[in-house]
């Protein structure tokens, strides 16, 4: 199992971080985490953490191999993973993990669209009534390239609840 802990804000030992949740999940299923989150990065530098993940994937032979499954959340602005609207990461043509930053948000790491689209399956999750406009836009909208990053995904599978589907 390989995952990218895309947030570069909380220390890796904090009990509520994605890293701790993934370790708990992997342990329950008897899985080994191949590329764990790095130690806390005092600068919160998404580019430095992205370099860590690129090397970790390379060390297990996955630097250019497609991933089997990518699980993403859908942001209200069409953000998937750390691909923010009109950001350099959302427009990148490289097959890679890169640093990314939303206008008001923290630095993070993300897979580029070519890497996400290279996966065997890309699953996007959205829930709740607040997600309904984003789900409708993701499934029906026509935005210019990079403006709504979810549109850059090729054949994603959307997992949504009834409230998230209410605007369809």
Structural domains of the chain, with CATH: 18-160 (3.40.50.1360)
C-alpha count within 13 angstroms, C-beta hemisphere, residue 37: 26
In this prediction, residue 106 carries a pLDDT of: 64
CA distance 163 to 136: 12
Residue of higher predicted confidence among 34 and 83 = 83
CB atoms within 10 A of CB 113: 26
In this prediction, residue 42 carries a pLDDT of: 45
For residue 21, pLDDT over 60 is answered with yes
- 3-state secondary structure at position 11: coil
In this prediction, residue 97 carries a pLDDT of: 82
For residue 168, pLDDT over 90 is answered with yes
Q: Output b/e per residue, 121-153; b: 16+ Cβ within 10 A.
A: ebebebbeeebbebbebbeeeebeebbbbbbbb
In this prediction, residue 103 carries a pLDDT of: 64
Output the average pLDDT for the chain. Answer: 79
Tokens in use for 81? 């993973």
């Amino acid at each position: 199992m390989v995952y990218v802990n895309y947030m570069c804000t909380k220390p890796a030992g904090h009990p509520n971080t994605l890293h701790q949740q993934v370790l708990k999940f992997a342990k329950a299923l008897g899985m080994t985490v191949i590329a764990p989150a790095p130690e806390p990065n005092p600068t919160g530098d998404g580019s430095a953490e992205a370099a860590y993940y690129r090397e970790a994937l390379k060390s297990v032979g996955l630097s250019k191999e497609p991933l089997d499954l990518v699980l993403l959340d859908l942001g209200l602005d069409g953000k998937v993973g750390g691909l923010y609207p009109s950001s350099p990461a959302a427009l990148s043509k490289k097959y890679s993990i890169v640093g990314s930053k939303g206008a008001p948000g923290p630095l993070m790491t993300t897979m580029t669209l070519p890497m996400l689209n290279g996966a065997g399956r890309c699953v996007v999750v959205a829930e709740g009534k607040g997600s309904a406009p984003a789900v409708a836009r993701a499934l029906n909208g026509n935005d210019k390239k990079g403006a709504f990053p979810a549109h850059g995904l090729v054949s994603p599978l959307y997992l949504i609840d009834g409230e998230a589907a209410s605007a369809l």
